[in-house]
Amino acid sequence: MTGVRWQLRAALILLGGAVRGAVQYRADIVFTMIAGALYNGAGFATIWVVLDRFEVIAGWDIGDMALLYGMRLVAHGLWLVPFNQLDWFSDHVREGSFDRYLVRPASPLLQLLTTRIQFSPFGDLISGLVVLGAAMSAVDVDWGPLTVAYLVFALIGGALIEGGIQLALSSIAFRTLKADQVKLTVDSVFNLFGNYPARIFGTAGQLVLSVIPVVFVAYLPASVLLGRVDAAGLPAVVAWLSPLAGVVVATASYLVWRRMLLGYQSSGT
Amino acid sequence: MTEHLAFMRTRISEVLTYRFELLFQLINPLLQLLLLAAVWRAVYAGKSDVDGVSVSTMTTYVTLSTLHTLLMHDQIVHWVEQRVRSGAVGIDLVRPIPLLRQQILSQASQVAVKVPMMAVVFPVAVVTTGLVAPAAPGLYALSTLLGWLINCCVLLLIAAVAFWTLELGGMTFLYYVVSQFLSGALVPLWFMPGWLRTAVEWLPLQATVFTPVAIYLGKDGWGGIGVQAMWLVLLGAAVVLVWRRALHRVVVQGG
């Protein structure tokens, strides 16, 4: 009864309800998407203004930086569009509404993700695609089937890393009832440091960003695509295989989530 | 005077209720500071000097502009919006302190909480990014005060919109995104492309962060103070006018 196909059908029905709820506020949808896009625009504008004067940062010109920024932002949007409800997960645990998901046949995680639909992540995704599209024509990369396939795998891998890390951090709330600040802080690290070549942060910085693992989201695959494999102090083959890191991180995180769920005792509210 | 102090005391304790949230608010500026310092060191790539600006000037700029931006972040727009929407502004109006002065005292209370917080960030900033000595300490202090007052005026103008629309969430978010750029918090004006610099120079926000930091670094002087004073007079007058009109719009929806 609760096979994968059944779960997917349940997800579609739940999501339909969430969409019907959200389209009651059309102006708000448009506005939050624009706000999300502008926020990302400001991040890229900083890079653009700096490079307008200095031309390169650690050997990366504006086209290279746009590719990195675009890949990171698309990966970010790709995980955030389906997984944005994780941002409210602590609230569900504290207020006890997560208990409701446990007594229904559909997967609790799936029910959580389809509670509501947010539109600002679509703003991230769209602005990311715009930057990435512009970057793809600006950089000196031969876009054949192989490079495009690598790019697609890298984007999916990046999304799995960011989503996996956030899922694992969210599950802390099963024990502590609150994990918002640590999630926000880690998210900031990805949003700020993921957009730059890790080389500029020195040996210690590269080590930290490899462990978290920010560099795997976009920096390592982008350096491979640009033909300047930079493994941030790791063996070069790691950079080539970086899209696979997402599968590892996401699988491990899902296991952590399942394990933490078993220890869930409910807040009692 | 007693009622002013009492009012500020309640405000400060209100801010301190969320002291852990406040501490976490320090993490983001710190991260931003580390990032910007690394970016500037990387683009300088060993050059000691670009356009007469040394790399230590730039890392000092990053440290100070981050602290100044932290000082400018203020809850006042949110507070006014809540009071107007809930109708509680009716209670504020019967208090012995005029409504506009209450807001300014609220803003001062937030500074009273934030300055000790900055004392936590400051040593970390100095160790990680470095800091050169101020070129003109007295002038810098004056400019910081003027910059803060200009920021208060800008925020009070935005907050006043609440009396007309009741919903400011999106507008404040946009303001913070745009102001980071226009205040010089991310990139100093001297490294902006010509047209952008001209546009930013004609706007008041550069007087909130860029001017005091430029004065600290000896890149600006009394000229900057003059521009700040002009903006303060203009915006201050605008605040008084707009808030006077806003009071006539107060509708207490059933309290």
What lies within 8 Å, CB to CB, of A243 at 6+ separation is: A150, A153, A154, A156, A157, A158, A221
Q: How many CB atoms lie within 10 A of CB A215?
A: 32
Residue A227: what pLDDT? 86
Q: Rounded to the nearest 5°, which phi and psi values hold at A204?
A: -65, -45
What lies within 8 Å, CB to CB, of B123 at 6+ separation is: none
Q: Which helix (H) or strand (E) holds B206?
A: none
Q: Which of residues 52-111 of A touch B (CB under 8 A)?
A: 52-54, 56-58
**Which two tokens mark A101?**
């998901």
Could you read off the pLDDT of A150-164 as tens digits, one per residue?
A: 999 999 999 999 999
Q: What is the distance between the alpha carbons of residues B97 and B103, in angstroms, rounded to a whole number?
A: 10
Q: Is A50 within 8 Å of B38 when comparing Cβ atoms?
A: no
Could you read off the pLDDT of A109-139 as tens digits, one per residue?
A: 888 887 777 777 888 899 999 999 999 999 9
pLDDT of B9 > 50? The answer is: yes
- Using alpha carbons, select from B213, B209, B202 the residue that is nearest to residue B179: B209
Q: What's the whole-number mean pLDDT along residues B48-76?
A: 88
Q: For the CA atoms of chain A, what is the radius of gyration?
A: 19
Q: Is B180 within 8 Å of A56 when comparing Cβ atoms?
A: no
Q: What is the distance between the alpha carbons of residues B190 and B239, in angstroms, rounded to a whole number?
A: 30
pLDDT of B254 > 60? The answer is: no
Q: Is B24 within 8 Å of A192 when comparing Cβ atoms?
A: no
Q: Is A196 within 8 Å of B31 when comparing Cβ atoms?
A: no
| DSSP H helices in B73-136 | 76-86, 89-93, 99-129
**Which two tokens mark A36?**
């999300």
Tell me the sheet residues that pair with B54. Answer: B49
Q: How close is the nearest chain B Cα to the Cα of A8, in Å?
A: 34
**Which two tokens mark A175?**
């024990």
| pLDDT tier at B216, thresholds 50, 70, 90 | very high
| pLDDT tier at A250, thresholds 50, 70, 90 | very high
- Using alpha carbons, select from B151, B143, B160 the residue that is nearest to residue B240: B160
Q: Could you tell me which chain A residue has the CA closest to the CA of B24?
A: A181
pTM (2 d.p.): 0.86
pLDDT of A31 > 50? The answer is: yes
Q: How many CB atoms lie within 10 A of CB B246?
A: 21
Of B42, B186, B196, the CB nearest to A200: B42
pLDDT of B149 > 90? The answer is: yes
Q: What is the distance between the alpha carbons of residues B111 and B117, in angstroms, rounded to a whole number?
A: 10
Across chain A, mean pLDDT equals 86
CA B142 to chain centre: 15
Q: Could you tell me which chain B residue has the CA closest to the CA of A27?
A: B170
- CB contacts, 8 Å: A72 with chain B: none
Q: Are A153 and A242 in contact (CB under 8 A)?
A: no
Assess: ipTM above 0.85.
no
